Structures are given as structure tokens and as C-alpha cells.
Structure 1
Amino acid sequence: MLDAPQPLLPEIFALHGRWRARSPALVAPQRTLDWQSLDRSTNRIANALIGAGARHGDRVAMLMSNCIEMAELIVGIMKAGCVAVPLNTAISAESAASMLADSGAVFVFATADHAARVGAIAGIARIEVAGEGAPATAGWRGYADWLGGADAHPPAVPVAASDLCNIIYSSGTTGEPKGIVHTHGTRVAWAYDAALALRYHSGARTLLVTGLYSNISWAALLGTWLSGGTVVLRHVFDVADTLATIARERITHTAMVPVQYQRLLDHPQFWTTDRSSLQAIMSVGSSLPLATKAGLIETCRCDVIEVYGTTEGIITALDPEDAEGHLASVGKPLPGVDLLILDDHDRPLGAGEAGEIVGRSRFAMAGYWRRPEATAQALWVDGAGRTWLRTGDIGRLDEEGYLYILDRKKDLIISGGQNIYPADIEAVLMQHAAIAECAVIGVPSPVWGESPLALVIVKDAEAGDGEAIKHWLNERVGKQQRVAAVEIRDHLPRNPTGKLLKRELRAPYWPSV
């Protein structure tokens, strides 16, 4: 019998280096790599790690802005049999030290703009990726010097599906960040399912403007590369640069968070940009407001695909063919994914009933790194002994199986014993012509326990009358959903993937919590 196991990503990329040698794999402002060059450069990284003493399963951290070197490192670390630990570039020096200690990293790579946040730590080699010819920060070794004359031949390191591939730390929007672990088998499943859901192909040119530390970016990067396509990488998200890149690079695919799409639609240059090359765009990270979703469908003339998922591993997609009549939903589970809605006593609910979303899929995490109790809390075992992943999100399934997200379980407002979903109120607020962004939180009420409070950013300061907006809103929502007040804000805190930090918004109102 022919022994032909499922190839993992390191082998797939090596095969692209052989069979797609001269096709472009990675495009950045200063440099373009074809598949053969990417294969050779990532082999050099793997061999340099091994030569520097890295062992199978060692953790290798990265605190880096988007650049070719980080994309290469992700693959090189895989090829070395090590575990990639990409760190959020917005974290503090204290958080960086905590995550490095928690992961047990033995190497850390940083770009010059982030190196200052990583102090000397015993047992961790520090390598800095600086500009060409620029000296490394004191105490760091320069990347070019570290890479040196490392061999470009394939490293002799077997990688198994059960081996750990990466640890991606959660955003911390609902508590202390946890290291989410994926195996190589899980990661290649992510890539296959991303390619299927987002319609990547060998001619795809995928624009990446989200940070390479996030699972959003990993799904788009590895899904495109699995298909043999080209990734066009930008250093940061800038509206004008993004629009210019779409036109200049003939972008076919991209993955962004809702607030980025909204800023594109609001920019005057959007209407004069040549967007004719776009084939499919993905929105992920948080719910895409209906007006934004409808605006993208109407103006981009391409497949607009809203994806719901967690880094831990559940995913649904609203396909463009299903958008009409189901625009408010986040679609159906991908093939092989199963969903249930549970009540507060972990009993499955029927169609139309709201409860916690749980799911099963082949790309579920292996667990939280060194957090067995947190891992156990994230799982639910049904009567048949099958294990499901808890999402912490509240949703409902309709009769046809379309999933509707209502809110985060921890964001739920309980007022007078009634459940109020902030997302419902936010959806109405976003219909107001003067509002650019909004958030609804629960604040203490001596009568009801909690009452909704709306925090809004207005498009024009002269239009920012909180009382008038409150009156407008309360005429349009249910009696229990009426807000106690509307506060005008200049800024709403978000993490780098666009999620509102509601814990920060609530904190001043709940000082004793």
C-alpha cells in the first residue's frame, strides 16, 4: 500500500520551491521573493537555529513589525521543528517579559522599533532585525550576522502532525492573555480551510495589513501560501497606502477587521481607486456592522465573506451566495465543523434560542500553554463523550442553520433580571448619521442593578449632542434596552486586531470590581 501521509506546511512550501520556483511568493516594499528564494531563505533560518543550539520543540519568539524577515522566520521556525511564538507589538515591556517567561522561549527576534521593550533575560538569545547596514542595539546580535553563512539545504528535521507548531497569545480583551497552542496538524488544517472558505488559488495576490502576530494574519498568510499564491505585505495599515497598494499590486484577496473596512469606505480616495482586481475580501475579528457589510458588497463588486471564529479553533463563514436574506448572520459552519447553542446549564437549545456557542472542528487548539485548568474550563463534554470548545460568545442558530452573534458572554448586561445584548443597541446606534463608532456597556444602577450606557465617537463635533442621540436611540429600541446616557468620546480603546476593549471602558464605572 502506498504510504502517502498528508504533507505538513514545511513540506508543502518546499514543494512550491521546487515546482513553482519562479512564481512570486512574497512582495514587500523593498523586496520580492519567488518560491525558490523563500524556500532557500527559510532553510537557512532553520539551519541557523539548529546550529545555534535550538532543539526540537524549543520556543522561538518574535516581537516584530510586519516585514519579509518575520514571514520568513515563521516558516523557518517550522522547518527547524521549533515552536513559533509571535508576540503582539502593542504589548508593554512587562507583558513581553511575562510572555517570554511563560513560553520558555530560548530565542527572541525583534525589529529595531520594538527591541527596547525586551530586556536581557538569562537563557534567551536576542537577535535584532534592523535596517540594512544599521548596527544592532547594544546587547543584541544583528540578524544578518546571526544568519551568517547558514546552509540553504533542507534541514534534516522530521516534523510530525502532533508536534507543536505555534503559541499565539490571546488578545486579553476578556482577561489575562493565554498562550493558545496549535499543532502542525491543526495548522495545516487551518490553512486548508482558510483556502477553501476564502477562495484562494495559485493566482491569488493577498494583501496583508494586519499584524503577523495574529491568527487572522496566519490564516490569510498560510492559506494563500498553501494555494501557491502571492502575499503582498505592508508594514502597517494606512488607508491611503492600502488603497494605492490594491490598485498598484492588482490585489485579489485581503483579510481585515471591520474598523479597517469602515475607514476604507469613509476615505475619499476609495471612490477613485481601481478596485477591479478584487475577487474576495474577508472580514474577521469582530462583527461587521450591517451598513459596512452592505457598503462593501455594493461598492467592491467582489465576494465579501464574513468569518466568525476564535484563535482556539471554531469557524463559520457567510458566503456571498448566502448573503441575501441572511446579511445579519455570520453564515454556516465550514465543512467538518459542528456547532451547538447551550443554555446556562449546558443543555443544548433549539433554533432561535440564545445561548453560548460551542463547536467542534479539526483545527481546534491543543490547549492553553501550561494552563490545564483554563484548558479544562474552555471545554465541554457532551453525553456521548465528545469534546466541544466553548467560545464565550452568545448566539443563536436559525431554522436553516445560520449563526447569529449576539454578544460576548462577559459583555452581557443584566438589568432588572433581563438579559440585554449590547450588540443589539450598537447596531441601532450605527444607523445614526452622526456616529462613526460606538460601544455600549453596563454601568451600576441602584434600581436595576445595571443599566446600558452608550459611548460614541461622532463624525462631526458640531453634531455631537449626547442628549439628542439618547432621545433618538431610545425611541428605536425596546424599553429594557433604553440607555441611561450617551457620552461623546474622542477615542474608544481597541486592541491591534480591532476589538473594542470593553473591560477598559467599564473599569471607571466599577471601581470596586
Structure 2
Amino acid sequence: MTHLTTSPEAPFRTVAALVREHAQRQPQRPALRDDQHGLSYAQLDALMDRVAAALQRDGVLPGESIAICAHSSVHYAALFLGALRAGVVVAPLALSANRESLASMLHDAGAQWLFLDSAAQGLVPPSLATTRCVWLDGASEGIRFEDWLAAEGAQPQPVALSPESPFNIIYSSGTTGTPKGIVQSHGMRWAHVQRGSTYGYSPEGTTLLATPLYSNTTLVVFFPTLGFGGCVQLMPKFDAAHYLQLAEQHRATHTMLVPVQYQRIMALSQFGAHDLSAFRFKFCTSAPFSAALKADVLARWPGGLVEFYGMTEGGGTCILVAHKHPDKLHTVGRPAATSDMRLIDEAGLELPPGAVGEVVGHSPSMMTGYHRQPGLTREAEWFDATGKRFIRTGDVGRFDAEGFLTLLDRRKDMIISGGFNIYPSDLEAVLRQHPAVEDVAVTGVPSEQWGETPVAFVRRRSGAGDEAAQIMAWYNARAGKTQRLAALHFIDELPRSAIGKVLKRELRTLHLNLST
């Protein structure tokens, strides 16, 4: 049974301190595993000490940062946790970055060292290649992780941390393209751990993670698992069939997946052949999760299903406990107990219940701000009449009479055609009803006549012979005049970020290229 106390009045604890306590109480219990390595809590605690001592040896001070750009692995996780023990801020960077954006993020973070693996080899700025890089998998001529570590048995100097101390910098380009460093605090991560008791985390649990460690999507489950003394099984790359094998083999109790991963897992013909009975909770966030897919997961996959709606920047969180509210699967749930969620109009005025507006949120889990970008931080904030600070989500939604939030679309993705507001999600919902449509995204493109007009990108189901013109005609016959499509393109795969968000800016560029 866990010794962690997580009541709202519980004193602040750091994740690194919790790992040490588990190492003392349950030294041999597994803490981390990947496809090649595993660490018990005692081994993880000792490795964290070696990381922290090495950073202190190299002069990286509390509050300064390092960066990591690599596939998820045991060494990646231990490095992250060891840096936290030294009070060092971690900037986990996406492998999908190009060399220019990686260099920009490193400069913005002020990272003292870059830790990476062979997957990031082509991204390394030449000035760093042999001087300030440490290779987690020994893949280059640079410094190897094993050689960089402090000696076995090394003990770092203790570091005092407060809830306000910076924990990590998550770089989020969202779907707009410009990376912004989101500074999150130790207090924010402690709040995530505190709510873990609600979801059945325990030393006997195993969390299977197939999303990357550079994503906040992953971290909101990763840290609570370790905070409660459970084991994290990491997948460096997602593969639906391998995921099911690992889930059955390790008797996984928890997982975090994005909707496109749920879609691919549920589509496997062998899904029903796997024993998934150990699952307690499955989580989802980061991208639209269709009601039909939620219903399928509830029907065929044991354990509860919980959808989180929120932003890496923090602010309010909505939670849909889908197995308790099967009639609300079209929503993202109700605000969490510690969240204050409201709607505002284009002028920043608060709207009454039932109105459609931009979602803003306040909670204990809010970013300090965008790193070194006070102007962007101010743009992301909204204050009510009392001066209470909220974070703007950029999402448009509506609360129903019971307080459940239905999202209509991203504010920036809304199409204004002939003066009318068109929400792409409405169009996508109709198109998904066509039997030939496997996946779809709608975006607005410039129109001389209407200002903007909607176009669709469809991934066709295997074996379907319908032509694009046929599907578009089928849809347009069912749509209102302002919602009719100007074009429909087939696409092999919708462009998505690592956490499943459709990159609509790429679709707009693709349409322009196809139209010229």
C-alpha cells in the first residue's frame, strides 16, 4: 500500500524525493523498463544521484537548464529525474524539430548541455557536436552517457526547492509552427501527483506509455506513476500490435494514448485475443476524441476511460469520466474540482451559460509563463473583474445545462465564409458518416468570393472505391449552403504532431500546391 499522502492539505513534495522514499521502502520493486533495460527503485535512485552529481560537477546550477532530444528510454527518464534532484530545469525537445528550430529552442532555454540519441544525430548544431553533447545510446563520436556520469556511489549536494521553482520547459508549437517555451513549476507537477489517488495509482501498478517523454501528454501520467511507487513501461516508438503484446505481458494497469493510437489499436483484428483485464484506467488527451471511438473503447477494453481536456500551459482542466457518463461522450467533461472554466467573447467579455465562446481556465496548475516571451505570456492571459488570472485556450466551446463542455473548434481554425462562422469539426462529423471515410480533416483556404471556404482532406478506407467527387457531392447534399466544400482531396495519412494533433497549416499549404 502506498505511503503517499495526497490530500489538498498535504505538504509539498518533489518527485525526486518521492523516488528516494520508494527506493528506501521497496528497493527491488521495478521502477522503469523499456525494450532493452530495466531499473528497480534502488537502481533508479542511485542513477539519479550520479546524474545530479555530474551536473553539479559541471557547474550547472539550480534554475539553469539542460535539454534532451531522444526517443523515450530508461536512460532518458533517469536523466530527467536526476536533473530535477539537482534543481536543474529540463527542456525535453521534440525529435520532429528541424536543425534550425532545435538551435532556436536550445538558445531560448539557455541549455548548458544537450543529451540525445542516434535518432537526433542529424539535428545537432555543428557548434555543439563534440563539445556539449552527451549521447544516451553511445551512437556518436561525442561523450557517452556512461562516461559522463559521476562515479558510482556519488552523492550530490542537497538542493532546496519550492513549489515556485521551475521544473521543466515544454516547447509547444501546437499547430501554429512557432515553438514557445512553457515554464512549468514543481508545484504544478506536485498537483498532478496529488490527484493520482483518484485514478488508482499504486506500487502494484504498471503504466504503459507509447507517447514521447518530451510531451506533457506523457508527463502528466509518468510522474504520478512514479510518485505512487508504480512501474513505467516505455515504448520508444508506437506500434499497435506491440503495444497490445506489452500490455498483456506486463499486466498494464494504466496508459495514456492519443485518439489516433486508440483508433489503430481498436482496428486490429487481434485486439480481442489479448488479455487486458488488469487495466484500471485508460487516459486520453491532446486531440479530438470522437464519441464513436470512446464508445468502442468502453465496450471492448476493460477498465475505466478518462479524457482530460486542457493545455500544456495549464489553466483549467475538464475531465470526462466516460465510463460513468456514457451519454456525454460528445463532450470533454466538466471542470475539475480545482478548475474555474469560463467562456469569453471576441472582446474579452465573459459570456453566460449556453453561449458559444473561447474557453479560458484557472487552476493551481498553470504555467509561470512563456520562457523569455513576456508579450506572448500577456496574450495568453485573461483576467476577470476581480483580477483573477486565467489562461486562454484558443478553443471555442459551449457548456450544457449540466456543466459539460462541448468543444466546437480551435478559434484560429474557425472558417469565416461570407461573414458566417464555420466550425470544421461540424463538417468533419458529417464526413465521418460516409462509409468510405476512414479519417478526415477540414480547413479553410482563401477565397476571392467568400473570404475563406472549406476544403476537406480524406483518408479513404481500405478497399473503398468511391471517388473524391462522389464523396464531396454526398456531403454537399447534406450541408448548409455556407458549409459546402469547395474541394475534397484524398490523402494517405493526415499530417499530425507526435501527440496526434492534425497540422492544418500543412493541409492548407498542400491544398495551395494542388490547386496551382
TM-score by structure 2 length? 0.93
Query: What is the match of residue 457 of structure 1?
Result: 459
Residue 175 of structure 1: CA displacement?
3.7
Query: What is the match of residue 252 of structure 1?
Result: 253
**For the Cα contact (< 8 Å) 1:45–1:150, is it kept in 2?**
no
Query: What is the match of residue 6 of structure 2?
Result: none
Amino acid at match of 2:350: P
Q: Deviations over 1:38-69 (max 9, x none)?
A: 11111111011111221111111001111100
Gaps of 5+ in 2: 1-8
Greater CA drift, 275-284 or 68-77: 275-284
Residue 438 of structure 1: CA displacement?
0.6
Listed as ranges, the matches of 1:57-456 within 5 Å are 57-121=63-127, 125-130=132-137, 136-138=139-141, 140-153=142-155, 155-193=157-195, 195-196=196-197, 198-313=199-314, 314-456=316-458
Pair 430,329 (structure 1): closer, same or farther in 2 beyond 3 Å: same
Amino acid at match of 1:93: R
Take 1:406 and 1:72, find their aligned partners in 2: how far apart are those partners?
Answer: 40
**For the Cα contact (< 8 Å) 2:298–2:323, is it kept in 1?**
no
Residue 206 of structure 1: CA displacement?
0.6
Query: What is the match of residue 499 of structure 1?
Result: 501
**For the Cα contact (< 8 Å) 2:63–2:165, is it kept in 1?**
yes
Q: Quote the RMSD (CA, aligned, Å).
A: 1.9
Q: Deviations over 1:359-398 (max 9, x none)?
A: 0010100000000000000001111111111011111111
**For the Cα contact (< 8 Å) 1:198–1:282, is it kept in 2?**
no
Amino acid at match of 2:132: A
**For the Cα contact (< 8 Å) 1:60–1:107, is it kept in 2?**
yes
Take 1:221 and 1:4, find their aligned partners in 2: how far apart are those partners?
Answer: 21
Pair 377,26 (structure 1): closer, same or farther in 2 beyond 3 Å: same
Percent identity, aligned pairs only? 39
Take 1:36 and 1:258, find their aligned partners in 2: how far apart are those partners?
Answer: 35
Residue 148 of structure 1: CA displacement?
4.5
Residue 312 of structure 1: CA displacement?
0.3
Residue 16 of structure 1: CA displacement?
1.4
**For the Cα contact (< 8 Å) 2:180–2:370, is it kept in 1?**
yes
Greater CA drift, 300-309 or 206-215: 300-309
Residue 150 of structure 1: CA displacement?
4.8
SS at match of 1:10: helix
Query: What is the match of residue 51 of structure 1?
Result: 57
Q: Deviations over 1:146-168 (max 9, x none)?
A: 11515343542222222111000
Take 2:133 and 2:152, find their aligned partners in 1: how far apart are those partners?
Answer: 18
Pair 137,321 (structure 1): closer, same or farther in 2 beyond 3 Å: closer
Answer yes or no: is 1:36 the counterpart of 2:45: no
Take 1:467 and 1:242, find their aligned partners in 2: how far apart are those partners?
Answer: 37
Residue 95 of structure 1: CA displacement?
1.3
Greater CA drift, 7-16 or 118-127: 118-127
**For the Cα contact (< 8 Å) 1:57–1:164, is it kept in 2?**
yes
Take 1:184 and 1:124, find their aligned partners in 2: how far apart are those partners?
Answer: 30
Take 2:393 and 2:151, find their aligned partners in 1: how far apart are those partners?
Answer: 46
Take 2:88 and 2:469, find their aligned partners in 1: how far apart are those partners?
Answer: 57
Gaps of 5+ in 1: none
Query: What is the match of residue 24 of structure 1?
Result: 30
Amino acid at match of 1:129: L
Q: Deviations over 1:382-434 (max 9, x none)?
A: 11111111011111111111111111111000112111100111122222222
Residue 198 of structure 1: CA displacement?
4.0
Amino acid at match of 1:34: S
Pair 15,412 (structure 1): closer, same or farther in 2 beyond 3 Å: same
Amino acid at match of 2:242: D
Pair 476,204 (structure 1): closer, same or farther in 2 beyond 3 Å: farther
Pair 476,203 (structure 1): closer, same or farther in 2 beyond 3 Å: farther
Q: How many residues align?
A: 503
Query: What is the match of residue 18 of structure 2?
Result: 12
Greater CA drift, 93-102 or 321-330: 321-330
Greater CA drift, 474-483 or 388-397: 474-483
SS at match of 1:127: strand
Take 2:328 and 2:131, find their aligned partners in 1: how far apart are those partners?
Answer: 51
Greater CA drift, 395-404 or 147-156: 147-156
Structure 1 segments of 4 or more deviating over 6 A?
none
Q: Deviations over 1:62-109 (max 9, x none)?
A: 011111001101110100111001000111111111111111101110
